[in-house]
Amino acid sequence: MDERIEYVKIRWIEFENLKTGLKIERINFNKDITLLVGLSGVGKTQILNAVEYSLNLAVNKAAALQPCRVGMGILIDNDEYEWFYEINEIDKDELIINEEDRYEFSFEKLLCNGKIIFERKNERVSVIGYDKVPQPKKDESLIWQYSEDENLGFLVSGIRKLYSVEIELAVRGGIRSENFSRLKSKVTDTIRNENVEFKAFSHLPVALKLYIVKRYYPELYVKIFEAVKDLFIEIEDIDVEEDSIRELYLVSIQVYGKKLMQYDISNGMLKTIYYIVELFTMSKDSLVLIDEFENGLGVNCIDLLSELMLSERNDLQFIITSHHPKIINAIDKEKWRIIDRDNCVVKNSGSLDYGIGNSQHDAYFNLINRWEFEGKI
């Protein structure tokens, strides 16, 4: 990862599923937070999925190919990259062994500040700086295949910094003792032999990050604990400990002098702790995707977590969906993208374009009233 990169954001995406016909019109994202607002079933989750799918392809993160036509804009420092690709079925005369091998890149183009870096159309491929290029793999993006090239290495490093984090909703599972011990040993050796910043561990599971923070980064642990304490004043300590009977490492808390292991903690409290740990420990410039942010959270948790998202980490970029009025009202209507659907086309507009121009307090109710007037609810 190139540490020279200071700033990475996803700017926009457009997506068409060539199998189902679902089309997402180009949607622009804010640099800090974009709230996707809309009724159930209009396509908010599909937007998140399209973003994550494309980023997976760019960094070769085991994503099975699917027939689609996609465009995406990414800002890295002062450079604007535009990536377009299309995936279609391979020639039917070729032997197909596995179902997932049915598709290939039939078109791909990358521009930087309007200048073409590479382009492929079926068998014809051109890459800047090369008179001739070997025939590329048809099931991998050229971004990944040329990631060692100086013209593309910067982009891949940027996407890796940006790479999306979908905050885990399932918080009940622990980490097997054998796996935890192995990871813990590697972390301990790294800290012992090098003076490392915590960002080196920001990709690890929440429980392991909490364990590391508690023991080696006390200032960061204090921030996490104070944020949790603001919501749950009865919590006296947070830790990660082994349950030898289950052979798992689990989150634990101390309440009124009594220790509670993860399976004794309410789902809302546990999920809130996970959110807070993630928000304080994510790597710089992470893209955070959260589908239905309010799911499983107590009402008293929503305000604090919304405030943390908006104020604590200015470097993060959030794209979230929500139906909860408290969350929607907590986020400035200028950050909304209102999602609607016309048959197979997912459309979007800003609050002013949609006619939601009154005060922030009234914005959500005006939106509901409009939906009701249009017969959508």
- What is the rounded average pLDDT of the residues 77-87? 93
Measured CA to CA, the distance from residue 127 to residue 40 in angstroms comes to 43
* Model pLDDT, residue 275: 86
Q: b/e per residue, 103-141, with b = 16+ CB within 10 A?
A: bbbbebbbbbeeeebbbbeeeebebeeeeeeeebebeeb
What is the reported pTM? 0.86
- Given this model, what pLDDT does residue 93 score? 59
Cα–Cα separations (whole angstroms), residue 148 to 54, 154, 155, 157, 249: 19, 9, 10, 10, 38
CB contact at 8 A, 142 and 110: yes
Q: Where in the chain is the domain with CATH 3.40.50?
A: 175-330
Mean pLDDT estimate for the chain: 86
CATH architecture of 175-330: 3-Layer(aba) Sandwich (3.40)
pLDDT of residue 137: 87
**pLDDT value for 98:** 61
Asked whether the beta carbons of 98 and 132 are under 8 A apart, the reply is no
Q: Which residue has the higher pLDDT, 46 or 367?
A: 46
- 62, pLDDT greater than 70: no
Q: Which of 311, 327, 339, 309 is nearest to 364 (CA)?
A: 327
Most confident among 74-78, 81-85, 243-247 (mean pLDDT):
81-85
Query: Whose CA is closest to 353, among 330, 333, 332?
Result: 333
Q: What is the mean pLDDT of residues 131-146?
A: 85
Name residue, tokens 């996970």.
274
Looking at residue 67, its pLDDT comes to 94
- When mean pLDDT is compared across 5-14, 20-29, 167-176, the lowest value belongs to 167-176
> Any idea how long the chain is?
377
pLDDT category at 161 given cuts 50, 70, 90 is: confident
Cβ neighbors of 105 (< 8 A, separation 6 or more) are 65, 85, 86, 87, 120, 138, 139, 140, 141, 142
Between 231 and 301, the higher pLDDT residue? 231
Where is pLDDT greater, at 140 or 377? 140
Q: Band of the pLDDT at 28, cuts 50, 70, 90?
A: very high
